[in-house]
Every structure is written in C-alpha cells, then in structure tokens.
Amino acid sequence: GNGEGGDDRRRKDLSAPDQFIEDLLNSFYPPPPPPTNVEEWEYVPPPLPTPKSVRFKHKYYPEPVLCKIFGRESGVIGTMPMWQLEVEVTATSAGNHLLLVSDARGNLRYLSGDMASLLGAQDKLNSLIAQGGYKLPSSTAFGLPLSIAIMSGTTAQQQSEAAALAANSFKLFDFMPFPWNAFHSRWTREITSDAVLKGASTKSCRSGKDPSEGPVMTMVDKKGKVIPMRVSVMTRDEGGEMLHLVRASKALLEDGLSMLRLKLSLTETGYVQSIIDGGQEDLFGFPAESLLGQPIWACVELGLEPHLQQRAFAAMIRKSMQTSETSWPVAVLPPDVRNSIANSISDPHLAENLIATRRKPAVMQLEVTTLSEVDNSFAIVANLWTSHMLSGVLEIDMKEGKIRRIMEQELRPAHLIFGYTSSKLVGKSLNQILDVSAHPALKDAPSKDLSPAQVASLLLEGRLGVVRSKGAMKSSNTGRDGGASSG
C-alpha cells in the first residue's frame, strides 16, 4: 500500500537477506565484543566451527541445491570483524547435479561443473571465463551464465573477444553421438514447449521422469568417448526465449538393458536356478523371483505340447551353440497363470481369451558358454526381451538400399526386431527385411516389384512404414526411438 504500514513492510522485506546473513554468522558463534583499545588488541581467529546446511535456489534446476557453509572470521577492519564464508555443494546434490542448458539452436547457455567435468569440457569453460578477465571456481553450482565472462572493467576488445569465444564454444550436438546429433539439430528448433510431447514414450528423454529414473541414453565427451546416462529433458520459456534443460545422472549400459529384458541362469534341463538381472518388475507383469525352481517354459510359450517342451529347449540350446545371437519370437505369461485361470473358469473359450490378455510378446535368446572341456560342462543364460521396448537405428546406403551398419547396438539391438543375427542383418537389402508388396501405400501401384533403392526412397519420403517380413517380428516403432539414417 501507499500508507506508512506498507512502507514498513517493504523495508522489512528488503532487509530480509541481510538479516539472514547476520543470523547465519551469529549461528557459528556470537560476534566478539569490540576491543577497548584497537591498537593494543591482537586478533586471534577462532577455530573453524561446525558447518551449516543451507539450500540455495538454482536458476535452472527445479530442486534447491543442498550446500554446506563454513564460516570463520578472517580479520578486522577497524572494529568491524571480517568473515570468510566457504560454500560447498554436498555429495548428495553434487552427485545428481548434471545439468546442461541450451537454446533452440543448440548454443550452450549453462553447463554445470559436474557435467562439464564428465564431458571433458571443464578446461574449455575455464578458458572461456578467463577471457573476460574473471575466473570462476571449478564448479559453477548455482546457474551462473556463461556470459559472466563479459564483465565490466574489461576493455571493449576483451569483451568482444569473450563474446566471440562464447559464440563459438561447444554446442549441445557436440556431446551427442551420430545420428542423434543430426536429428536434434532439427528437433531443438521444432519443440517449443513440453506440451508438444505429452504422452511421450517411456524410452524418450521427454518421458517426464526424474533423471535418476529416466531412460538410459548415450552422450559423448569432447573426445568422442561414449558415456551412458539417464536423461530427462524439459523445455521452458526464459524471458521470451525457449531453453532446453537437459538433466542427467550417471548410468551403466546394464541399467538400460534392465529396462528391456530379464536375464536368467538356467540348468542344462531348462530350470531357472538364479536371477542375473530381474529387470523392472512390470516388464512382464510378474517378479522374476517367481520363476526360481521352475522350467523356463513355465512362463515362455513355445507353441508346443507340454511333453515336447524340454525336447524343444534342447534343440534351441544346440542351435545357440552353433550360431550366437540366434533368437526366437515367443509369448511370455506369468507362471501358473494358465492353470489358475483354467481351474477357475469352466468355459475353455473364455479361459483362453483371458489367458491371451495376459500374454506379452517377447524375444528369447540363449547364451551357452563352455565352463570346462574336461567334463564338458557349460552355463546357459536366457535373455527374455520384451518386444514393445525393442528399438533399432539402422544406417542405410540410400544408393544401394542396403543396411550399412547398426547404430547403438548395445542399447538398441535392432537385429532382434528382424530375426537376424547382427552380422547377417548388416548388408541386407530393404526388400529382404520389409514386405513391400503388402504395404497399403503401394496397393494401387502398377508394379510392386521395387528395387532396394526405390524402397529406400519411399522410406525417406515417409510413404513406407516397417511391416512384418517373412520370419521376422512385426515392428510398430515408427517414432524417434528407431529409424533409418541415410549415408
């Protein structure tokens, strides 16, 4: 208000930060009484007190940054004691404080100290800041902008050089592997808000999950070394400018695979003896531990009569020993669900319909490793990949219409989608993995006998989707998690 009371309240609000600092200093220990004779008084700094925990608001990060403040007197000016405050980001906050901010063109607006160190860009940031005549600590923890290098007190030439260096520094795409760096150079301009990507895939960086729970993806440091990370991206308006906030946490490739498959250790007769990687509990709708002591076909339907299951399993073992990466499309059911439904519902047709709702399509691989050549013992590991989470990125030779290489195979095993081993998938023409003649886009075409190069052109034009190929799995993945890149 304009009255006296309003002015008092305004003055109180403005003085709050100063009062906070005063209270903080007094919390370390009360200020010493002023000396009676300043010239004869010898200052002896007290020992370092116990640090205080304080949460700082970050400019970009949504959660406050937990820090420790160490305070001690460092001297006096006249009768006024001088304080030295040291702020340290706690291990809890520092471990999760991997943050990168870019504008729509991919220019970096902020890079946290931890992220810069992980990407090998810490030296670059320090030299950038030094160009402006101001040196920051190694960890810029509170969202200080890169433009802080352009400081008052420097010459016009220094400011110009600092601005030019900032404009030519790293971009977001420099820390992405191919082909994602090329894709994101367009996507960063197209995406103007988080609302555009509502309902994004759980494997998308815009799934809305916390960085500690987000999908595992890969970035690269400035030397090209691949770094697995859990990534969560959001977009927001900052003063009329769209900024992309990339939050991340460290991860392992195995963390990403846990979102895709169960990994089980089997006996030679096909019984589950241990859980190597239980994956996520909702991967197939039951906990992996429920399989212990049961045959693998208790949850995997092989499409055979019960008395033939073990014989089929033995044949699959032999095939896997002959050709690694061999895979089979299967259906996975929670163990004992078939018996439970059959015992509770007398109508066999209704029971079968209910059982069908519990089935989840999957791909099974068997890894067979020889343990001893003396007694011919071997270890068997079963990988059950959930089909709806599989994705792949293929580099296509557009002139030949052939697959040149499989991208990010560690996290995106594309060969499982098409039913080939990875070595056999490379070099295949698109006609061999796509059933072109059955595609609706070509139903009125005078001739459906297309060359591989023509198929590649249709893919590039967006007129052709991935459909079922003979002996392969159907892929419904038409989003950004999978695709083809031309070369």
Q: Are the beta carbons of 221 and 227 closer than 8 angstroms?
A: yes
SS (H, E, C) 114-174: HHHHHCCCHHHHHHHHHHCCCCCCCCCCCCCCHHHHCCCCCCHHHHHHHHHHHHCCCEHHH
Q: For the whole model, what pTM was predicted?
A: 0.69
* CB environment 94-132: b (16+ within 10 A), e (fewer): bebbbbbbbbbebbbbbbbbbbbbbbbbbebbeebbebb
pLDDT at 12: 35
Q: Give the domain-ending residue among 41, 74, 93.
A: 93
Residues 381 and 405 in one domain: no
Residues 112 and 236 in one domain: yes
- Give pLDDT tens digits for 96-132: 578 888 888 888 888 887 888 888 887 666 544 443 3
pLDDT at 315: 93
Residues 212 and 179 in one domain: yes
Residues 19 and 121 in one domain: no
Residues 262 and 320 in one domain: yes
Residues 192 and 137 in one domain: yes
Residues 405 and 438 in one domain: yes
Residues 108 and 247 in one domain: yes
Integer Cα distance of 487 and 481 in angstroms: 19
pLDDT at 207: 74
Residues 274 and 246 in one domain: no
**What CATH number corresponds to the domain at position 176?**
3.30.450.20
Q: Give the domain-ending residue among 40, 66, 93.
A: 93
Strand-by-strand arrangement of the 216-220 sheet: 108-111, 98-103, 241-250, 226-238, 216-220
Long-range contacts of the stretch 113-122 (C-beta < 8 A, 24+): 113/137, 113/138, 113/139, 113/140, 113/141, 114/139, 115/248, 118/221, 118/227, 118/250, 119/175, 119/219, 119/221, 119/222, 119/227, 120/221, 120/222, 120/223, 120/225, 121/170, 121/221, 121/222
pLDDT at 73: 73
Say how many domains are in the chain.
4
Give residue 326's domain range.
256-389
Note the helical H segments in 168-210. Answer: 180-190
pLDDT at 200: 65
Q: Give the domain-ending residue among 70, 93, 116.
A: 93
Q: Which residues of the chain have pLDDT under 50?
A: 1-15, 94-95, 127-168, 196, 467-487
Q: Which helix (H) or strand (E) segment is 363 a member of?
A: strand 360-372
Residues 126 and 220 in one domain: yes
HSE, CB side, 13 Å, CA atoms: give it for residue 326.
Answer: 13
Structure-token pair, residue 153:
């007190």
* The dihedral sign for the CA sequence 207, 106, 395, 255: negative
Residues 109 and 182 in one domain: yes
Q: Are the beta carbons of 440 and 385 closer than 8 angstroms?
A: no
* Bridging pattern class, strands 216-220 and 226-238: antiparallel
Residues 120 and 239 in one domain: yes
Integer Cα distance of 283 and 285 in angstroms: 6
CA angle (432, 433, 439) in 5-degree steps = 100
